[in-house]
Structure 1
């Protein structure tokens, strides 16, 4: 059973210097906008129990050295529900964040909109969504921490609508609350862990580690730089392949350094985003932000497997977030190609590829690409930066795999090597064609 924290206890997990913001002072009629009998008495009892006059506490605080606007929900106040006064407070907090150029951290625990205020409460979600969108347009990050429980419109706006979503272990997280979901629904589907598995949450973080993890995220996402990411040094062989067949064999070797090795060598520390926000994850696409020489660099790296639609959508999410925050991007290409099974088609591999092509093509922040292994057709090209792509000596890039090319040309299998040579897929061939630059290659060897 997840621990249910008060608003102040949640704030104490992440900061020691919280300063509450002033709130708008507006009076609404007796028993609220609907004249709901007993509503004022319910509010008074909630205030007496919690010590809070409303369901959200807003202010500023430093999280491991990074100042932020913090918005913490008090679930004990009418289930942390959103009403008109809640909307007033949230709007004021987001506006303050934009005025002061501060990131926003919602610490969410809510059951949704307040039924005693009817549609007046529900439309607060539109108000919150607009404030979040304006803050996004201003280039300021939003990192949500979802607590127990986070359901309804609060999850669908402040929670799932954030750039990065962290969750406390065991928290109930989902659009449908426990009292409104189908009676036969599996309760395990409405947990932080289930949302992580389906790509809606980036990490489940124990409360004792939350301050350090949140601080790391805030530090990385608040350091814009328009300088391109440096090209990583090759970690494998340094001499060029003699033939196309050799280039393919090198790229497919199980002993060749993979994405994890490159990321570990390149960054002094990194944090990962997980999932495409559409119900999918792909372990074959690593995405996140890392620290390199005191700067933040975003990364999207293929791990040598056929990339799933969720992988392409996660990479597109990463590129767009980095672009909005002014953070350079490093991509590592290594895939035999896009997944081509029936399930991949049902999951929309074509549209997912199109989305990533568009994200890279429209990025204003510099994107740097290193091909570290297989560059299999459009499934690899979608991650490559036009005009800023390098290749290692143990890589290749091809319009199609040489085996498939030979099959299409009705050539026997023994002619695969000749076909590879004709495709001119070696790193030096690609450089001569003006498509890539050679990374760390000893041309005298």
Structure 2
């Protein structure tokens, strides 16, 4: 059975039926390297004899699931997959070739970090690789990283954590410090829990998962996403309080049901890449009718700062790759407890507003439940928002509005009408473009 420490060439052969290796970079003139490190030449020779490789990376053009991609695969058996000057040259060559061909990059990372026998020159490969990642990002090409065992040091801090989508093989050690620097135990599972890894993948499932991701990131829908059909009630609420009651009903369809009905299949991303995960925000990319739509969906809970940051990351990634975005709004509001304030709630909400405002791809929004103030509106496209019959959008909850303005919580029912928060009110006010249909999606291409 495949493991997280599978040899590079065996892993590439398992993932890609077609693989053409790029020519290698020239060997250094000095036998013992740029620092004349005693015995380094012998170490290189033994590493080559042990692995059959001439360097710690194998790079080439592969076909994975029918998608052509450049693959950078680390061989941990070659001096611990360490990054030396020649490694940096090979990685640079691979990313440059990807940009020339206009294809994605897949990094299969397994490294202990920079090669100490080459000193600071090895360390300088990190900004060199970071520059290649930045240029490839600027070119609008996706980069997927697979974290193998181990992924530490500069390899984690560049090719790993710097990728657009990060897949972690279960059982892998992942962290900036390796096991010889601190006691082992910090694993890919910890990184996933901290919002730094998008998915945990069993080694035997890597190929189909990678094939799905490559398809998703290379087949964007042209034009805006269709508005999903409504899944709940077919009738509109009579009063504002009815709208609030229906949106808060426990049995009302939630984002998970909308996503399952809308997509043929989809793959999630997870975490804000800054130490946080909000399980109440669902983000990722989905296939629908053979093309890709990105999604960011609130699932009915108060949205935490990590949720706003994860959604903003999704919107920016989709925008860079030319993938239209669907957002589903359903939250009583932004979390406002002490922990949320300390985690930067205001800045996170502002970041999501900015990501949607800056997006060049069309963003489509469906209000599917509660729309609590700015925490809900941050997920909404102001010019392309529809409402389901089981939804409402308000500047504040009717209870709080009654308590603040009338100093009488008993006035909440009447206040709900005065706030004009029903779906039909939102359409009349010009906030929403229409009510979601039940028989079929609303195709925005046909909407004026």
Which of 219, 227, 232 matches 1:231?
227
Q: In the aligned structure 2, how far is the partner of 1:4 from the partner of 1:366?
A: 41
Runs of 4+ displaced beyond 3 Å? none
Alignment of 1:234-273 (within 5 A): 234-273=230-269
Whether contact under 8 Å (2:386, 2:436) holds in the other structure is no
Whether contact under 8 Å (1:239, 1:441) holds in the other structure is no
Alignment of 1:24-39 (within 5 A): 24-25=25-26, 27-39=28-40
Q: In the aligned structure 2, how far is the partner of 1:167 from the partner of 1:13?
A: 17
Structural RMSD (CA): 1.3
Q: For residue 98 of structure 2, what is the aligned residue in structure 1? A: 97
Q: For residue 112 of structure 2, what is the aligned residue in structure 1? A: 111
Q: In the aligned structure 2, how far is the partner of 1:372 from the partner of 1:137?
A: 35
Which of 182, 194, 211 matches 2:207?
211
Q: In the aligned structure 1, how far is the partner of 2:42 from the partner of 2:436?
A: 72
Whether contact under 8 Å (1:97, 1:103) holds in the other structure is yes
Q: For residue 292 of structure 1, what is the aligned residue in structure 2? A: 288
After superposition, give the CA deviation of every residue in 1:416-444 in whole Å (9 maximum; x if it has no partner).
011111111111111111110222359xx
Q: For residue 9 of structure 2, what is the aligned residue in structure 1? A: 8
Distance 1:395 1:111, change over 3 A: same
Distance 1:3 1:106, change over 3 A: closer
Q: For residue 444 of structure 2, what is the aligned residue in structure 1? A: none
Which of 382, 388, 394 matches 2:378?
382
TM-score (structure 1 length as normaliser): 0.96
Q: In the aligned structure 2, how far is the partner of 1:366 from the partner of 1:105?
A: 27
Number of aligned residue pairs: give it. Answer: 437
Whether contact under 8 Å (2:22, 2:59) holds in the other structure is yes
Which of 189, 195, 218 matches 2:191?
195
Whether contact under 8 Å (1:220, 1:291) holds in the other structure is yes
Which of 384, 392, 397 matches 1:401?
397
Query: What are the ranges of 5 or more consecutive residues in structure 1 without an aligned counterpart?
Result: none
Q: For residue 350 of structure 2, what is the aligned residue in structure 1? A: 354
Deviation at 1:222, TM superposition (A): 0.5
Q: In the aligned structure 2, how far is the partner of 1:65 from the partner of 1:72?
A: 19
Alignment of 1:36-435 (within 5 A): 36-181=37-182, 187-188=184-185, 190-435=186-431
Query: What are the ranges of 5 or more consecutive residues in structure 2 without an aligned counterpart?
Result: 439-448
Q: In the aligned structure 1, how far is the partner of 2:260 from the partner of 2:198?
A: 20
Distance 1:200 1:424, change over 3 A: same
After superposition, give the CA deviation of every residue in 1:242-289 in whole Å (9 maximum; x if it has no partner).
111101001001111110110011000000001110011111000000
Q: In the aligned structure 2, how far is the partner of 1:159 from the partner of 1:419?
A: 52
Whether contact under 8 Å (1:225, 1:328) holds in the other structure is yes
Whether contact under 8 Å (2:309, 2:352) holds in the other structure is yes
After superposition, give the CA deviation of every residue in 1:62-84 in whole Å (9 maximum; x if it has no partner).
11111110111011111100000
Whether contact under 8 Å (1:23, 1:92) holds in the other structure is no
Deviation at 1:7, TM superposition (A): 1.0
Q: In the aligned structure 1, how far is the partner of 2:437 from the partner of 2:287?
A: 26
After superposition, give the CA deviation of every residue in 1:274-321 in whole Å (9 maximum; x if it has no partner).
111001111100000001111100000000000011111100000000
Whether contact under 8 Å (1:238, 1:440) holds in the other structure is no
After superposition, give the CA deviation of every residue in 1:107-150 in whole Å (9 maximum; x if it has no partner).
00000000011110001000000001100111110001110000
